[in-house]
Amino acid sequence: MKTTRTPTTICSCGMPLDAASSAHRTPKEGDLSLCAYCGRLGAFDQNLHLKEVDEKDLPLSTQEEIAAVRRTCKQWVTKKGGN
């Protein structure tokens, strides 16, 4: 797992986001990311700040992938004893 420090962005849930993790690479402009605290979707800009994204504007296949990632994250948090 590769973790990249990014400029701190405050999610709309109020939590600071300052890193991105990926299996293979650093994020680039246009890449999507989910807030680890609330699951909101954001896209990285050219300076690696996250900007909130309206999922309804994305292709249905991308929306389905995002839903699958959220389910996986929820299962992982539940197994670890989180909410």
Instruction: Give percent above pLDDT 70 in the chain.
Output: 92
**Cβ atoms 30, 41 nearer than 8 A:** no
CA 48 – CA 18 distance, rounded (Å): 10
pLDDT in tens, 29-54: 999 998 888 889 999 999 999 999 99
Distances (CA, A) of 7 to 18, 36, 59, 77, 79: 6, 16, 28, 25, 30
pTM for the complete prediction?
0.78
Domain ranges of the chain: 2-79
- Predicted confidence at residue 82, as pLDDT, reads 56
Residue 7, pLDDT score: 93
- Note whether 56 and 66 are within 8 A (CB): no
pLDDT bin (cut points 50, 70, 90) of residue 77 is: low
